[in-house]
Amino acid sequence: MTSPEASALGAVIRSRSLRMVIVLLALWAALAIHPETRTAFLTAGNFSNLTAQISEIVIIGVGMTLVILIRGIDLSVGAGMALCGVVAAKLSIDYRQSVWVASLAAVAVAAAVGVWHGVLTARFRIPAFIATLSGFLAYRGIGLVISDARGLSPMGADFAVLAGRLPRGASLAACLAGLGVGLAMLLAREARRRKLGLPPEGVATLALRAGAMVAAAAFFAVIYQDGMPAPVLIAALATALGALLLGRSRLGRYGFAIGGNAEAARLSGVPVERVTVHIYLLTGVLTAVAGLVAAARTNGVTPGNAGLMRELHVIAAVVIGGTSLAGGRATMLGTVIGALVFGTLSNGMNLMSINSNWQLILTGVILLGASLLDSLTTSARQP
């Protein structure tokens, strides 16, 4: 008979997140030994740039994870990034407003958009695909109208804080703080399991999880020797918030219930409409944050190109990370890993100077292959 500790350890070993970590490490190993990338890929500067480049995907991915958890979708986030970027840039450049005023205005617009999507899907029962597809078409157009179809740059000097780097000491402190929070949550979870009379995960499982956290903290401390990019810190804070909401809040519990069976959740007293609106509201706000980060990193906004295809990148990262399109299953850690896989593919192909047209083809094939392999291995393990 298998002990509870052995069962918990086996669950960790069989988890989709661990399989995706293995895929990610395999990609890194392949790029590390490839003749065209081995000198440039395994450098602190390259990894620092890679994580900064995927920060927008991770930030929006936090909200998209919750949306897909409840069997929704949001196809408007790319156009939303463009609209929010235009609002902020317009206020910063044409009206000389501070970064705070411009950012709050962009967030307010995105919050209104999020509430609108939530009301359309929850109250009026419009399929999320259609409700957000309308935004996909309209929001970029609104951005083009507001900007007179012209690029807006340069941003105000105070926007540089969103694209800058933390001092070296602050970067190390952030890595250590993240490690401390992760270990504290791990121990708190184990204590909670014991308090509720659930089987403990066991020393081996706890040691494996803690070791992974220590390794990750050490890795980030090394690659951010010259300072952590501000977008990475923002993405980390968004991920931490998403993980807390998903695993430790009523919103997360209700989200899992709605994703499993919305009608059963409704009959059980779950406020399905309110939860749906809140989740789309959060996604809208995170879209604005990503749009502000993107505008700061490029020091301007081109309405026709800003956030282009970003919704597909985000959805791919979320699904690859283990969140089910059928609803009821989600993981924030998986979303971050999925974004890293996506970013690694793009980074590696850029280092190999692969034509951008072929990059689209190869990225689609590789991502489909990774998802298919994971699906097959998951099915093989099911009785």
SS3 call for 310: helix
- Structural domain boundaries, residue 176: 165-228
Element (H, E) at 148: none
Residue 99, Cβ neighbours under 10 Å: how many? Answer: 20
Domain annotation covers residue 34 = no
> Would you say residue 381 has pLDDT above 60?
no
**Exposure letters 5-24 (e unless 16+ CB within 10 A, then b):** beebbeebeeebbebbbebb
Same domain? 246 vs 357: yes
Domain annotation covers residue 88 = yes
The model scores a pTM over 0.75 = yes
pLDDT at 1: 45
Same domain? 84 vs 143: yes
CB-CB contact of 23 with 370 (8 Å): yes
Most confident of 103-112, 149-158, 336-345: 103-112
Instruction: Give the domain CATH number at 241.
Output: 1.10.3470
pLDDT at 329: 87
Q: How far apart are CA 151 and CA 149, in angstroms?
A: 7
Of 176, 199, 228, at which residue does a domain stop? Answer: 228
pLDDT at 200: 75
Beta bridge partners of 152: 301
Domain annotation covers residue 2 = no
Same domain? 356 vs 218: no
pLDDT at 364: 79
Q: In which band, very low, low, confident or very high, does the pLDDT at 71 lie, cut at 50, 70 and 90? A: very high
Q: How far apart are CA 199 and CA 180, in angstroms?
A: 25
Domain annotation covers residue 345 = yes
The residue type found at 370 is: A
Of 317, 342, 347, the closest CA to residue 332 belongs to 317
Domain annotation covers residue 118 = yes
Of 176, 211, 228, at which residue does a domain stop? Answer: 228
Domain annotation covers residue 33 = no
